[in-house]
Amino acid sequence: MKRMLWGCLLLMPWLAEAADLEVANARVRMPPPVSETAAVYMDIRNADVQAHRLTGVTTDAAAMAMFHGRDMQALHDIRLVPGEHYAFAPGGAHIMLMGLKRVLHAGDRIRLSLQFDGDRQLQVQAIVRDMR
Ligand SMILES: [Cu+2]
Protein backbone atom coordinates (compact mmCIF):
# COMPACT_ATOMS: atom_id res chain seq x y z
CA MET A 1 0.00 0.00 0.00
CA LYS A 2 1.27 3.41 -0.87
CA ARG A 3 1.99 5.92 1.78
CA MET A 4 -1.16 7.86 1.24
CA LEU A 5 -2.21 8.04 4.84
CA TRP A 6 -0.50 11.26 5.63
CA GLY A 7 -3.29 13.16 7.20
CA CYS A 8 -2.47 15.83 9.70
CA LEU A 9 -0.59 14.88 12.78
CA LEU A 10 0.25 17.02 15.72
CA LEU A 11 2.38 15.19 18.22
CA MET A 12 4.14 17.91 20.14
CA PRO A 13 4.49 21.62 19.58
CA TRP A 14 7.94 21.21 18.10
CA LEU A 15 7.82 17.71 16.77
CA ALA A 16 5.39 16.89 14.05
CA GLU A 17 5.76 13.77 12.01
CA ALA A 18 4.03 12.38 8.97
CA ALA A 19 5.39 9.09 7.76
CA ASP A 20 8.78 9.93 6.31
CA LEU A 21 8.91 13.68 6.86
CA GLU A 22 9.55 15.15 10.28
CA VAL A 23 9.57 18.71 11.49
CA ALA A 24 11.39 19.68 14.66
CA ASN A 25 12.34 22.78 16.57
CA ALA A 26 9.84 25.09 14.89
CA ARG A 27 10.15 28.59 16.30
CA VAL A 28 9.30 32.16 15.46
CA ARG A 29 11.69 35.01 16.08
CA MET A 30 9.75 37.38 18.29
CA PRO A 31 9.37 40.56 16.22
CA PRO A 32 9.40 44.07 17.61
CA PRO A 33 5.85 45.06 18.57
CA VAL A 34 5.54 47.45 15.63
CA SER A 35 6.65 44.89 13.07
CA GLU A 36 4.23 43.27 10.70
CA THR A 37 6.65 40.58 9.66
CA ALA A 38 8.33 37.70 11.43
CA ALA A 39 10.64 34.85 10.48
CA VAL A 40 9.94 31.20 11.27
CA TYR A 41 12.66 28.59 11.54
CA MET A 42 12.47 24.83 11.70
CA ASP A 43 14.27 21.66 10.77
CA ILE A 44 12.70 19.29 8.28
CA ARG A 45 14.03 15.80 7.95
CA ASN A 46 13.31 13.69 4.91
CA ALA A 47 13.65 10.10 6.11
CA ASP A 48 12.33 8.76 2.84
CA VAL A 49 14.49 7.14 0.16
CA GLN A 50 13.27 9.62 -2.42
CA ALA A 51 13.38 13.38 -2.64
CA HIS A 52 10.41 15.46 -1.64
CA ARG A 53 9.49 19.07 -2.08
CA LEU A 54 8.03 21.52 0.35
CA THR A 55 5.69 23.43 -1.91
CA GLY A 56 3.76 25.84 0.29
CA VAL A 57 3.01 27.18 3.72
CA THR A 58 -0.03 28.86 5.22
CA THR A 59 -0.85 30.21 8.65
CA ASP A 60 -3.78 31.89 10.30
CA ALA A 61 -1.33 34.16 12.16
CA ALA A 62 -0.49 36.32 9.16
CA ALA A 63 -1.96 37.53 5.90
CA MET A 64 0.74 35.75 3.93
CA ALA A 65 3.53 33.26 4.45
CA MET A 66 6.25 32.35 1.99
CA PHE A 67 9.70 30.83 1.73
CA HIS A 68 12.63 33.22 1.64
CA GLY A 69 16.27 32.64 0.93
CA ARG A 70 18.99 34.25 3.00
CA ASP A 71 18.73 37.48 1.04
CA MET A 72 14.96 37.64 1.43
CA GLN A 73 14.37 36.49 -2.12
CA ALA A 74 11.26 34.38 -2.59
CA LEU A 75 11.83 30.66 -3.04
CA HIS A 76 9.24 28.79 -5.02
CA ASP A 77 9.74 25.52 -3.22
CA ILE A 78 12.24 23.69 -1.07
CA ARG A 79 13.90 20.50 -2.17
CA LEU A 80 14.23 17.90 0.57
CA VAL A 81 17.08 15.53 -0.11
CA PRO A 82 16.54 11.91 0.98
CA GLY A 83 18.08 11.15 4.35
CA GLU A 84 18.98 14.74 5.08
CA HIS A 85 17.81 17.65 7.18
CA TYR A 86 16.79 20.93 5.69
CA ALA A 87 17.15 23.82 8.09
CA PHE A 88 15.26 27.08 8.01
CA ALA A 89 17.64 28.93 10.29
CA PRO A 90 18.72 32.45 11.28
CA GLY A 91 21.00 33.91 8.63
CA GLY A 92 19.69 31.52 6.01
CA ALA A 93 16.43 30.42 4.47
CA HIS A 94 13.34 31.07 6.53
CA ILE A 95 9.59 31.16 6.37
CA MET A 96 8.53 34.79 6.15
CA LEU A 97 5.28 35.85 7.73
CA MET A 98 3.87 39.08 6.35
CA GLY A 99 0.92 40.99 7.69
CA LEU A 100 0.93 39.61 11.22
CA LYS A 101 -2.58 39.64 12.61
CA ARG A 102 -1.55 40.22 16.20
CA VAL A 103 1.42 41.11 18.34
CA LEU A 104 3.48 38.02 19.10
CA HIS A 105 4.85 37.51 22.57
CA ALA A 106 7.52 35.09 23.72
CA GLY A 107 5.88 31.77 24.50
CA ASP A 108 2.97 32.25 22.10
CA ARG A 109 2.37 29.51 19.60
CA ILE A 110 1.29 29.88 16.05
CA ARG A 111 0.05 27.20 13.72
CA LEU A 112 1.46 26.59 10.30
CA SER A 113 0.32 24.20 7.62
CA LEU A 114 3.09 22.87 5.42
CA GLN A 115 2.25 21.52 1.99
CA PHE A 116 4.44 18.92 0.36
CA ASP A 117 4.44 17.28 -3.03
CA GLY A 118 1.81 14.64 -3.51
CA ASP A 119 -0.84 16.75 -1.80
CA ARG A 120 0.49 15.97 1.63
CA GLN A 121 0.21 18.35 4.53
CA LEU A 122 1.75 18.67 7.93
CA GLN A 123 0.41 20.82 10.74
CA VAL A 124 3.11 22.41 12.84
CA GLN A 125 3.10 24.63 15.90
CA ALA A 126 5.92 27.12 16.19
CA ILE A 127 6.73 28.76 19.49
CA VAL A 128 7.60 32.45 19.64
CA ARG A 129 11.07 32.99 21.06
CA ASP A 130 12.89 36.12 22.03
CA MET A 131 16.13 35.63 20.09
CA ARG A 132 17.81 38.90 20.97
CU1 LIG B 1 12.39 37.07 4.66
pLDDT above 60: residue 11: no
Contact predicate 67/96, CB 8 Å: yes
Q: Find the 81 Cα to ligand 1 centroid distance in Å.
A: 23
Question: What kind of architecture, by CATH, is found in domain 15-129?
Answer: Sandwich (2.60)
Confidence band for 5, pLDDT divided at 50, 70 and 90: very low
Distance CA 108, CA 112 (A): 13
Q: Find the 47 Cα to ligand 1 centroid distance in Å.
A: 27
Instruction: Report pLDDT digits (tens) over 80-130.
Output: 999 999 999 999 999 999 999 999 999 999 999 999 998 899 999 999 999
Q: Find the 51 Cα to ligand 1 centroid distance in Å.
A: 25
Distance CA 111, CA 109 (A): 7
Of residues 1 and 63, the one with the higher pLDDT is: 63
Q: Which residues pair with 96 in a beta bridge?
A: 39, 66
Q: Find the 82 Cα to ligand 1 centroid distance in Å.
A: 26
Region 12-16: mean pLDDT is 46
Q: Find the 93 Cα to ligand 1 centroid distance in Å.
A: 8
Instruction: Return mean pLDDT, the chain.
Output: 87
Region 5-11: mean pLDDT is 33
pLDDT of residue 16: 56
